[in-house]
Amino acid sequence: MPAIYPRMTTFRLTLILGAGIALAISLHATADEWPAPIQELEQQGLTIHGEFDAPDGLTGYAASARGQSVAAYLTSGGDHAVVGTLIDAEGQDVSAERLEQLVNGPRNAELWQEMADQHWVRDGDKEAPRIIYTFSDPNCPYCRQLWEKAQPWVENGDVQVRHLMVGILKADSPEKAAAILNAKNPGEALAEHYRNGAMPDTEGDEQSEEWVDENSQLMRDGQLHATPATFYQDDSGDVHSVMGAPTPDKLRAIMGSDTP
């Protein structure tokens, strides 16, 4: 893939617009019909996922590069494009929702189905109505933080968190992840590890090591580059992702309520 970021900086621009502007999704164009500047961005390494209507005569394009979503905007004349964040007078990114729908939405929905078939560690009651998936490395302090912050919802029986154990941060991460997966009670082993750093008495075996490899490969295939990488469904069934330690607002969205 070409080194797109140095070249893309020549296009980068932040546009400030009036408040209250809505963007309407439009998928009437196909890849071979993209205007010349958008095709040029494809040549530079962007993947174009769809087109949407943007304010002030602009046409928006939902794109991604190296797993990160990005918006491109075609000027009204069709001869120039800018890549960057389009914000309103209140500083809100007016394209964020469209990027989530067009770029992350399909990928997240596919990952959701694949994660269900992986080997994970459940934290919480198996009958808990809200399911959350998160990629967890035993050496990740932010994974431990997410585990701790989720406990009120988990202990209340509202949420079950399914931890896909991976080994990506340190040399002993795969070994620790495999040992937790191979424990007699993986949920208790995970809790003890995140509570006080303890590891189960039993080590990983060939099977659990394979499970860790599969989880780590799924993470790479999903272009997820850090832990925790957390996924949840909203009330409409759409799958959303949160990378890294969630903010308080994001945590409430993940858990599905303000308080357990």
The domain that holds 15 is classified in CATH as 3.10.450.70
- Average pLDDT value for residue range 180-206: 96
- What are the pLDDT digits (tens) for 40-97? 999 999 999 999 989 889 999 999 887 788 999 999 999 999 999 888 888 888 888 8
The reply to whether 148 and 251 lie within a common domain is yes
At which of 34, 64, 95 does a domain end? 95
- Is residue 200 within 8 A of residue 191, CB to CB? The reply is no
| Whole-angstrom distance, CA of residue 190 vs CA of residue 216 | 17
- Is 224 inside a domain boundary? yes
At which of 95, 126, 152 does a domain end? 95
What percentage of the chain reaches a pLDDT higher than 70?
Answer: 88
The CA R_g of the chain, rounded to the nearest whole Å, is 21
The reply to whether 81 and 151 lie within a common domain is no
The reply to whether 143 and 176 lie within a common domain is yes
The reply to whether 123 and 196 lie within a common domain is yes
- What are the pLDDT digits (tens) for 154-169? 999 999 999 999 999 9
- Is 112 inside a domain boundary? no
CA-based angle 232:101:18, to the nearest 5?
115
Confidence of residue 4 (pLDDT cuts 50, 70, 90): very low
- Is residue 43 within 8 A of residue 80, CB to CB? The reply is no
CB atoms within 10 A of CB 128: 18
- Is 127 inside a domain boundary? yes
Q: How many domains does the chain have?
A: 2
- Residue 157, CA distances (Å) to 35, 40, 105, 154, 218 in order: 52, 51, 28, 5, 28
At which of 39, 63, 95 does a domain end? 95
- Average pLDDT value for residue range 192-218: 97
- Is 102 inside a domain boundary? no
112, two tokens? 């959701």
- Average pLDDT value for residue range 144-163: 97
Residue range of the domain that includes 191: 118-255
Confidence of residue 27 (pLDDT cuts 50, 70, 90): very low
The reply to whether 80 and 124 lie within a common domain is no
The reply to whether 66 and 151 lie within a common domain is no
Mean pLDDT (the chain) is 87
Global pTM? 0.74
Whole-number pLDDT of residue 31: 57
134, two tokens? 């998160």
* pLDDT at residue 233 greater than cutoff 80: yes
- What are the pLDDT digits (tens) for 90-132? 888 888 888 888 888 888 999 999 999 999 999 999 999 999 9
The reply to whether 150 and 45 lie within a common domain is no
The reply to whether 150 and 247 lie within a common domain is yes
Please state which of the ranges 24-38, 124-138, 142-156, 242-256 shows the lowest mean pLDDT.
24-38
Q: Return the higher-pLDDT residue of 16 and 78.
A: 78
The reply to whether 46 and 164 lie within a common domain is no
